[in-house]
Amino acid sequence: MTNKMVNESILWTNALTKQVNTGEQQLTILQNIDMQVDAGEAVAVIGASGSGKSTLLGLLAGLDVPTSGKVHLDGVDIFTLDEDERAALRSRVLGFVFQSFQLLPALSALENVMLPLELSGVSNAEIAAEKLLDRVGLSHRLHHYPKQLSGGEQQRVAIARAFATEPKMLLADEPTGNLDSATGIQIIELMFELNREHGTTLVLVTHDEALSQRCARQIRLADGKLVQ
């Protein structure tokens, strides 16, 4: 990695490798991934199912630990940190949108969005959460629980929660994977609108080529390797 790349990039990896033991053999899921993402950039990570996309996203966030290699996020070598320190970095820098929404079922829409704000020590968490839910078109669903919401509504709550703490970077893993095509288009439009409004860096994992073209740059994985 050059000094220029390090200085300009909010995220970069060097020789990032992930292997797992299956009992009989060692399986390589990712091999020698070198990539960088500049602040404010929108990047799609694309590839077929099983190519290592979600594993890569987990490593970039420090949710998983590599077999070897480095990830630098917002100037920090994340695997020199312990688990608590990585969690603190995630809460400061990252927002997440998952295919499966990952809302807490015992909390209302409002409470799901308030939670990261409260954990960050924001004093007016309820007001801020209400504004975000209004922005994503759910001001009439504040006190509904996830099971009372449609898939599209749940993903809108998840997007509001992801942007709640004004993250520098949003990681989205197949955000339309559990939605019908019409709802998926609405969700993607909303996510890109918010991304522009907040000036957030976006890393979007998808197998959808058309969706990947919405990003300024595509990074393609095949069998755990980067394809140029």
Q: Residue 36: give its domain's CATH number.
A: 3.40.50.300
pLDDT tens-digit series, residues 85-128: 999 999 889 999 888 888 999 999 999 999 999 988 888 999 99
Q: Mean pLDDT, the chain, as a whole number?
A: 90
Beta strands in 39-187 (DSSP E): 42-46, 68-73, 76-77, 94-98, 169-173
Full domain range(s) for residue 57:
3-227
Confidence of residue 25 (pLDDT cuts 50, 70, 90): confident
Q: Which two tokens stand for residue 76?
A: 């920090």
Most distant pair of Cα atoms in the chain: their distance: 54
CA distances 136 to 78, 185, 206, 222, Å, are: 32, 14, 22, 35
When divided into structural domains, the chain yields a total of 1
Asked if residues 156 and 187 have their Cβ atoms less than 8 Å apart, the reply is yes
What confidence tier does 4 reach under pLDDT thresholds 50, 70, 90? Answer: very low
**Is pLDDT at 22 greater than 60 in this prediction?**
yes
Two structure tokens written together for 154 = 């749940």
Region of poorest pLDDT, from 26-30, 129-133, 177-181? 177-181
> CA 138 to CA 222: how far, in whole Å?
39
Is residue 7 scored above 60 in pLDDT?
no
Could you give the CA distance from residue 28 to residue 48 in angstroms, rounded to a whole number?
16
With CA atoms as reference, report the closest residue to 173 among 91, 94, 96.
96
Q: Check the CA dihedral 9-55-49-31 and report its sign.
A: positive
What pTM was computed for the model?
0.87
CA distances (Å), origin 184, targets 34, 168, 198, 208: 31, 24, 21, 11
- The edge-to-edge listing of strands for the beta sheet with 201-206 is 94-98, 169-173, 201-206, 42-46, 217-222, 225-227
Query: What percent of the chain has pLDDT above 70?
Result: 96
Q: How far apart are CA 228 and CA 11, in angstroms?
A: 19
Q: What pLDDT shows up at residue 178?
A: 84
Distances (CA, A) of 128 to 91, 116, 138, 187, 200: 17, 11, 14, 21, 18
The confidence band for 171, taking pLDDT boundaries of 50, 70 and 90, is very high
Q: Which residues pair with 17 in a beta bridge?
A: 68
Is the confidence at residue 5, as pLDDT, over 60?
no
Q: Is residue 150 within 8 Å of residue 101, measured between CB atoms?
A: no
